[in-house]
Structures are given as C-alpha cells and as structure tokens.
C-alpha cells in the first residue's frame, strides 16, 4: 500500500479513491519463479562471532550443500565471521581439538554427518562446539527427504544462531511478496533467504497488501479480480480462500491481530477511508476511527489493545495510535511531514515506517520509549517495511536499476542485503511468523 501514497502526485485524498491500479499496472514484466537469485551484503554487526562451519561428512555433495546453506544464513546477518574449515576431515563423532581451532581464530565450530538410511531418507547429525569453553554447545539429529535437506539446513542455522546470540533464529521462516510476470500477478511464498519460491495465487488482476496470519497458515491480501479491491483470507495448505471484506467502495490494508482472531482493514463504505475491525471469518464488523481525514494502513500492537495507522487528520500523512475500541487516538510521529506504513516490532518497543526525507523515501525506526528516530536505509524509494519475527532484521522493497527488489537491513541499520531476481519486479514483501 505505501508506494501508492507518494505516487499520487501530492493528492492524498485521491489515494483513498484508488490510484493503486495505475501504480501496479506500471510494474515491469518479471522472470520465472525459479530465476537465479543474487544476494549482495554490506556492513557488519556491532559484534561478530568467529565460527568455522565444516562440510558435513558422509556424502560429499549433500554435506557440502548443507554447510553452504548454513554459512549463507549466518553471513547474511552480519553477526558472524566465517573461519575456514576446509579439509577438516571432521565427522559427527570426531574428538575436537579445541585449542587448535581456537588458534585458527574460531570461537565456535559447527560440524556433522549426513547419510542415507534404508528407507531412502537422509539422517543429518549436527554438533556445535565452543572452543573457548572447550565443550559442546549443541547436538541434534534430523531426518528428511532429499527435498527437505534445505529446510534442515535452515533449522541447524537457527540453532547455531540462538545458541550463540541468545536470540531465536529466523532462517526457517518464510516471506511473501507479489511478483508481476507479464500481464499476470503472482502472490509468492518463499524461504526467508528468497529461495524455494512457490506461487500461492496467480491472477490477471492486481494483488496487493499481503499479510501473514500469526500461525503462518494463512495470508490475507487485497485482490482486484472482481473489478474492485476486496480483502481475502487464503489458507496456504489447501489454497482455499474466502472474501472477508467485500463492502461498498474500497476494501484494503488487512492486518491480523496477534491471536489471529481479528483483522483490521481500511474501508470507504461510509465515505472517506476509515479503520474497522472484523473477525477472522469476516463477521462482526466494527468501526474504530471516525475522523474527517483519511485513515488507513492499520497494524495491531502485539498486546492487541490498540492499532497503529496512517492518517492525514493533521494535514500530511502521519502515524497515529488508537485503542481498538476507538478511544485515545494520538499522534506518534512528529519528525518530517510525511510518515506512512506503520509496523510494530514483536516486543512492541519499536515502530517501523516509511519516511520521506529530502525528497527520498526511506525506512525509519522509532524507539517508542525515547522518541528517537533512526533512518535504517538510504535508498531513494524504499517501501513496505516488515520486521523479522525475532525483531532483529527488517525486510522491505527497494528500487534498484529502475525495478523492485527484495532488500533487508538489520534493526540497527548496520547490515544491509539485497536479494534480487534477475530481470524481475517484486513488491510488498512481508516476513512470516515463527511456526514452531
């Protein structure tokens, strides 16, 4: 939704009556789903953990592939410094020479084995050693088909990340985004690293504003297939979907409550765009805001008691907060004249939004306790911010060479990455929740 605000050439109110079709149909044609991904990373974290990740023994090709996925996952965070483990000869049963690895500069060592069992599945055994404390930090076994080995690799990377940093890893989570291919729109779901994309919905009409249900089983989104914007709820496992907001006028900007029982939406059924809530099945519609301006882009706070939203009630678009019962509406953003697309961190302490500064659109974060604003990105056209479920990274849409790409930045702004599909056009990414 956010990119529509700036492209309506200063006519904020025209947005509410929908320039989104004009925006979306301007997207360029994209490449097929399985196009090559390029990942560019810059910057390092405030703390970097030196770790050696050995190829998994027992099956050279698969053992090397597992280790490469783990290395790539950890590298993208900017929080790890890889120490070479080439030709280590380690197996899951090896006795570790902690002092030797410490001498090479590795405070941590990941190693293991992979083998094929009689039923054709693969057994993956993993160990993580702490060379400073000279002990084992973690050890676990997984079993999966060949197609599941990439998922297993992400799960191992998650365990390494959590054991070392104390924060839950997000490598096994998923992302969703919209891809334009020719005159067809696709809602795609992929691994958190952008790999393994799957098409959840394909349509000749625009699809916008995807939002994950908190259990990861559904996506809500806006589709124009009926000739106007309608909010749908889509069950990913079965592809079953139902319209949950199909009122007179525009139905847009769905957002789930943390318990999955409600959706917040922006509707124009009573005139200008206002915020409403309804049950996840589309029942019990209730109006939340009653302002003389345009209220849109709602986002539930983690405690479910209030909503952040974008409004022009003070003149230009700013972020506001209101109780779910419509009480105590108050302005949150005061820096600059244009702040839209609010998203709340999982712990409720930080607000993300798109800020226009010096004519450019950047992703900003606001510490809600101190009121301190930080600009996380420096692009000209950065949109659609979304927190990782652990709050440590932010996914957003950036413009690179005149086309949309997936981009990420650490929550402190120090580490940035770009995941681009060659010759593709991607918009409105959103990071999925933890599912286990």
pLDDT computed for residue 422 by the predictor: 53
pLDDT computed for residue 43 by the predictor: 64
Quickly state the pLDDT bin for 376 (edges 50, 70, 90).
Answer: very high
pLDDT digits 0-9 by tens, 76-111: 999 999 999 999 999 999 999 999 999 999 999 999
Q: What is the 3-state secondary structure (H, E, C) of the chain?
A: CHHHHHHCCCCHHHHHCCCHHHHHHCCCCCCCCCCCEEEEEECCCCCCEEEEECCCECCHHHHHHHHHHHHHHHHHHCCEEEECCCCCCCCCCCCCCHHHHHHCCCCEEEEEEEEECCCCCEEEEEEEEECCCCEEEEEEEEEECHHHHHHHHHHHHHHHHHHHHCCCCCCCCEEEEEEEECCEEEEEEEECCCCCCEEEEEECCCEEEEEECCCCCEEEEEECCCCCCEEEEEECCCCCEEEEECCCCCEEEEEECCCCCEEEEEECCCCCCEEEEEECCCCCCEECCCCCCCEEEEEECCCCCEEEEEECCCCCCEEEEEECCCCCCEECCCCCCCEEEEEECCCCCEEEEEEEECCEEEEEEEECCCCCEEECCCCCECEEEEECCCCCEEEEEEEECCEEEEEEEECCCCCEEEEEECCCCEEEEEECCCCC
pLDDT computed for residue 42 by the predictor: 67
Question: Is the pLDDT reported for residue 3 higher than 80?
Answer: no
Enumerate domains of the chain plus CATH numbers. Answer: 2-40+173-431 (2.120.10.30), 50-165 (3.40.50.10070)
pLDDT digits 0-9 by tens, 74-85: 999 999 999 999
Which of 45-49, 67-71, 92-96, 425-429 is least confident? Answer: 45-49
pLDDT digits 0-9 by tens, 105-154: 999 999 999 999 989 999 999 999 999 999 999 999 999 999 999 999 99
């Amino acid at each position: 939704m956010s990119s529509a605000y700036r492209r309506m050439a200063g006519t904020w109110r025209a947005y509410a009556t929908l320039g989104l079709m004009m925006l979306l149909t301007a997207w360029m044609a994209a490449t097929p789903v399985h196009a090559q991904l390029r990942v560019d990373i810059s910057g390092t974290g405030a703390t970097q953990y030196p770790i050696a990740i050995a190829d998994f023994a027992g099956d050279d090709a698969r053992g090397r592939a597992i280790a490469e996925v783990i290395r790539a996952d950890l590298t993208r965070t900017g929080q790890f410094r890889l120490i070479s483990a080439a030709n280590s000869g380690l197996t899951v049963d090896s006795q570790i020479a902690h002092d030797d690895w410490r001498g090479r500069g590795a405070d941590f060592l990941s190693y293991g084995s992979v083998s094929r069992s009689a039923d054709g599945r693969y057994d993956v055994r993993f160990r993580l050693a702490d060379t400073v404390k000279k002990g084992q930090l973690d050890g676990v076994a997984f079993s999966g088909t060949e197609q599941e080995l990439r998922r297993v690799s992400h799960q191992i990377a998650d365990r390494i990340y959590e054991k070392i940093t104390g924060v839950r890893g997000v490598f096994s989570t998923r992302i969703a985004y919209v891809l334009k291919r020719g005159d067809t729109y696709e809602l795609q779901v992929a691994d958190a690293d952008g790999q393994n994309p799957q098409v959840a919905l394909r349509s000749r009409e625009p699809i916008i504003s995807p939002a994950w249900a908190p259990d990861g089983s559904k996506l809500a989104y806006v589709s124009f297939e009926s000739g106007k914007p309608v909010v749908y709820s889509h069950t990913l496992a079965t592809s079953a979907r139902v319209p949950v907001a199909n009122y007179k006028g525009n139905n847009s900007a769905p957002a789930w409550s943390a318990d999955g029982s409600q959706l917040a939406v922006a509707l124009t059924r009573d005139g200008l765009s206002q915020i409403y809530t309804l049950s996840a099945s589309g029942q019990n519609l209730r109006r939340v805001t009653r302002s003389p301006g345009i209220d849109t882009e709602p986002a539930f706070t983690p405690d479910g008691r209030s909503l952040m939203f974008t409004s022009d009630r003070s003149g230009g678009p700013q972020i506001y907060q209101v109780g779910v019962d419509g009480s105590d509406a108050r302005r949150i953003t005061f820096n600059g004249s244009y702040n839209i697309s609010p998203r709340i961190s999982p712990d409720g302490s930080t607000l993300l939004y798109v800020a226009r500064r010096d004519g450019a659109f950047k992703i900003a974060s606001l510490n809600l306790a101190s009121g301190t604003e930080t600009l996380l990105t420096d692009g000209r056209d950065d949109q659609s911010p979304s927190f990782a479920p652990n709050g440590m990274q932010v996914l957003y849409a950036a413009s690179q060479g005149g086309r949309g790409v997936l981009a990420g930045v650490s929550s402190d702004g120090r580490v940035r990455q770009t995941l681009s599909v060659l010759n593709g056009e991607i918009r409105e990414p959103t990071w999925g929740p933890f599912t286990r």
